[in-house]
Amino acid sequence: MPTKKVKLQDKIKKLEDLGKYFNNAHDELDLEDAVEKYEEASGLVREIKSELNRIELKISEINLKNGKEKTSEKDDEVFNF
């Protein structure tokens, strides 16, 4: 059975949720649970960085294809870079 690909936005949301868990748990953290969640968060960070690098490379390739070496300031404003 093929695995379902998780969207980047879903990974970011899950990472945010894990961050909230650590920020709100204070003294109530179960050590084993916290370690598991930290491991999950670390994996998500690695996956998100990899996907963002892939997206950045794709944008660079598109810009080169269209005769641009980098995004213009106007493009930066549109895409909030």
Under 8 Å CB-to-CB from 22, ≥6 apart: which residues? 29, 34, 37, 38
Q: How far apart are CA 58 and CA 54, in angstroms?
A: 6
Mean pLDDT of the region 8-13: 96
pLDDT digits (tens, 9 = 90+) for 13-42: 999 999 999 898 777 788 899 999 999 999
pLDDT of residue 68: 72
pLDDT of residue 28: 79
Question: Which DSSP symbol is given to 6?
Answer: P
What is the C-alpha R_g of the chain?
18
Mean pLDDT of the region 57-71: 84
pLDDT at 47 over 90: yes
15 neighbors 38 (Cβ within 8 angstroms): no
pTM score = 0.71
What backbone torsions phi and psi does residue 6 show, to the nearest 5 degrees? -85, 130
